Amino acid sequence: MLKSKIVLILFLPLLVFSQSEKWPAEKLKKDLTIFREIREKANSGLYKYRTKQQIDSIYSWAFSQIDEPKELIEFYKIILQITDFEGSLHNDTRLPDDFEKKYSLGNVFFPYPVKLIENRLVLNFENSEIPLGSQIFSINGIETKKLLASLYKYYTTDGYNITGKSIGIGSSFAKYFQMEYGSQKSFLVEYSLPNQTQKLTKTIYPVSNESRKENFKNRFSLPIDSLQYNRAKDKYSFKVISGNTALLSVHTFVIGRNAKDKQHIAYKRYLDSCFQYLSNHSEIKNLIVDVRNNGGGTDPNDIVTFSYLTQKAFRENASAYVNFQKIPFPNYFVCEETDAKKQQEELKDFEDEIIEEFPKLVNKKYPQDEKFNLLLDPDKNSFKGQIYMLISPRIASAGSLFASLVAGNTKAIVIGEETMGGYYGHNGHTPIEYELPNTKIKTQFSIVNLEQDVPKKANQIFGRGIIPDHKISQTFEDFMQNRDTQYFYTIKLIDQK
């Protein structure tokens, strides 16, 4: 599967506006028009979850919002609404770097990390002002339910999924709050103490971006959720945890760039040794596969891992296609190269790869050539016992493709929370990026629309992530003890059987 990533830098005239200066409506409308035309031509997932009428409607709304001049941040929030509405976790729209840095200067951020626990927003930091674990009901008069809904657009997920947005809220709540509501001189927090109902209020004061980041690094839940936000040093591990149960943890599929990479080869050898061991120890009848921290990565790590868990032949996906062979709107396309001649070579190489993998136009689409989606056999040492797969809202991209294959094509018992990556498919594999000519806002999306090789199941809903067989979230009591609710539930389930 094509994995090229085209990033940054076009030579276009730079128009400088201050943070508070308003942009002329005609320039914003020009950027919005280009934004739409790019996505209509290049984004094969534009109508994956939304009808044309729905897409037309949100653009009508967007244009109605810019009849008058607007500040860049306000225009950015309009663009974000559209980006999120499309329904792809690979969508990413960013402010110009210089603007975002200036916008984040000074003491402007909510000081403490928060976390969603049992649908409650709780304080996730030990401090002397508001006790750890306190439930937050409102901030500066904005009720939590309304507050959270207003921040969802800052963190995209597949389809109509909401659970995955908790990952963005947990890591960047203060940043999102500041973007959405502007700099605050203080925060009036309405809250209740842990396990109490009486509402209290406390005024706390903003901190710098550096302090915000430092507090997040020292959040209370770090022992449990560190791997959700940081790439693991130990990307995978295997251990026997009892006489009849083993645990395979794969925290990421960022394990080398391709099948020839030394990291991937080492991973494949590691899997060989693990499953050879399981094959030789038939008393181990249960395998827990923990991919709760797996936000994706590169081929063929996901597919190789699945080959050790299935008993029948499989494909990576049922179908895949792109919208184009020649890059639309190359003047706004963002390249790695800065030299004009090298940029042209880069674009040609990229287009040649697309033509090789997606060679023919069929019904206004370019489907993937079958040689890039071969029928694959299970590994000879594939596990034949009972699989228990642990999932979470963090699972995305290649992580969700793997989890979908396991959930759909094996007898695995799936435990945890709905993933942010879709069960039936997603847009992925090949990200491209454009820069809008006036505002310099950058927008990235993936161009391969793929349907995963999974069966329809009653409990799996189109437009949603992978739905677990046992919906188990961390309880508040376990949060306060940094205890892994899902893991211990699984152990208990195995013991009962």
User: Which pLDDT tens digit goes with each residue over 202-232?
Assistant: 999 999 999 999 999 999 999 999 988 877 6
Percentage of the chain surpassing pLDDT 70? 96
pLDDT for residue 14:
36
Both structure tokens of 496: 């009962």
Which residues make Cβ contacts (< 8 Å) with residue 418, sequence separation at least 6? 161, 163, 164, 391, 393, 464, 465, 466, 467, 468, 471
| Level-2 CATH architecture, domain 114-221 | Roll (2.30)
Task: Report the alpha-carbon distance of residue 481 to residue 252 in Å, rounded.
Answer: 26
Reported as a single tens digit per residue, the pLDDT across 82-136 is: 999 999 999 999 999 889 888 889 999 999 999 999 999 999 999 999 999 999 9
Task: Report the alpha-carbon distance of residue 195 to residue 473 in Å, rounded.
Answer: 18
Helix (H, G, I), strand (E, B) or coil at 313: coil
Task: Report the alpha-carbon distance of residue 484 to residue 477 in Å, rounded.
Answer: 11
**Cβ burial, residue 95 (10 Å; 0-12/13-18/19+):** buried
Both structure tokens of 308: 């050790």
**Residue 62 contacts residue 78 (beta carbons within 8 Å):** yes
Main-chain dihedrals φ then ψ at residue 156, nearest 5 degrees: -80, 150
**Residue 395 contacts residue 291 (beta carbons within 8 Å):** yes
pLDDT for residue 161:
97
**The pTM is what?**
0.93
**Residue 392 contacts residue 129 (beta carbons within 8 Å):** no
Does 4 have pLDDT greater than 50?
no
Nearest Cα to Cα of residue 106 among 183, 180, 174, 20: 183
Residue type for position 33: T
Does 2 have pLDDT greater than 80?
no
Phi-psi region of 201 (alpha: psi -120 to 50; beta: other; left: phi over 0): beta
pLDDT for residue 5:
34
DSSP H helical ranges for 138-207: 144-151, 165-181
**Residue 191 contacts residue 123 (beta carbons within 8 Å):** yes
Reported as a single tens digit per residue, the pLDDT across 291-321 is: 999 999 999 999 999 999 999 999 999 999 9
User: Which residue's entry shows tokens 């963190």?
Assistant: 155
Task: Report the alpha-carbon distance of residue 165 to residue 76 in Å, rounded.
Answer: 19
Reported as a single tens digit per residue, the pLDDT across 316-350 is: 999 999 999 999 999 999 998 888 899 999 999 99
Task: Report the alpha-carbon distance of residue 401 to residue 408 in Å, rounded.
Answer: 10
Reported as a single tens digit per residue, the pLDDT across 391-415 is: 999 999 999 999 999 999 999 999 9
Q: What angle do CA 329, 330, 333 make, to 5 degrees?
A: 100
Residue type for position 225: D
pLDDT for residue 20:
62
Tell me the torsion sign for CA atoms 6, 2, 93, 140: negative
DSSP H helical ranges for 390-455: 398-409
| Level-2 CATH architecture, domain 229-496 | Alpha-Beta Complex (3.90)
